[in-house]
């Protein structure tokens, strides 16, 4: 397992699958088929989480979680980034591990999370049922709702 250190690698991983959990967000992206290699993992914690002591504590907990339980479950040729959240400071370690295993399964399933109205999601169906139209009926002025 290698550690991601370059910003470009973090940005590429951010374009992949995102799986939120209470203590972190897991971002996963498969690399090119031409360079499968080994698993690469990156850790990042925003300043919003707290001062340097708190951020480092979150990072240490995430690293330990991956060290203990991620090695055999992560796919070779995939980059993973764990974005630490403030909840990682107070959540029990066992809960973080359960969330991590669940997040890995969801990331590997590749099922899209959420959805846009274009794909026939529930939001789009609700809009259609209420009669919302892109173009207002003729003769009625268009009003802005800001």
Note the pLDDT tens digit of each residue in 73-107.
Answer: 888 888 889 999 999 999 999 999 999 988 888 88
Q: Which residues contact 93 (CB under 8 A, 6 or more apart)?
A: 61, 64, 65
pLDDT at residue 121 in the model: 45
Q: What is the mean pLDDT of residues 21-25?
A: 91
> Which residues are CB-neighbours of 3 under 8 A, at least 6 positions away?
40, 41, 42, 43
Q: What is the pLDDT of residue 118?
A: 41
- H-only helix segments in 1-146: 7-14, 52-69, 93-109, 122-130
Go through the domains of the chain in sequence order and give each one's CATH number: 2-130 (3.30.230.10)
Comparison of pLDDT for 116 and 15, the residue scoring more: 15
pLDDT digits (tens, 9 = 90+) for 120-143: 444 555 555 555 555 555 665 556
- Mean of per-residue pLDDT scores for the chain: 78
pTM of the model: 0.69
Cβ atoms 107, 20 nearer than 8 A? no
Pairing of strands 78-84, 24-30: antiparallel
């Amino acid at each position: 397992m290698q550690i991601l250190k370059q910003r470009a690698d973090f940005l590429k991983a951010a374009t992949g699958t995102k799986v939120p959990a209470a203590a972190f967000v897991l971002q996963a992206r498969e690399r090119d088929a031409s360079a499968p290699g080994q698993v690469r993992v990156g850790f990042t914690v925003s300043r919003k989480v707290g001062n340097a002591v708190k951020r480092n504590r979150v990072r240490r907990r995430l690293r330990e979680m991956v060290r203990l339980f991620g090695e055999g479950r992560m796919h070779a040729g995939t980059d993973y980034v764990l974005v630490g959240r403030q909840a990682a400071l107070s959540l029990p370690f066992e809960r973080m591990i359960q969330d991590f295993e669940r997040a890995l399964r969801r990331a590997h399933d590749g099922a899209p999370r959420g959805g846009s109205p274009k794909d026939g999601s529930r939001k789009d169906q609700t809009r259609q049922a209420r009669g919302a139209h892109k173009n207002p009926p003729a003769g009625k002025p268009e009003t802005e709702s800001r």
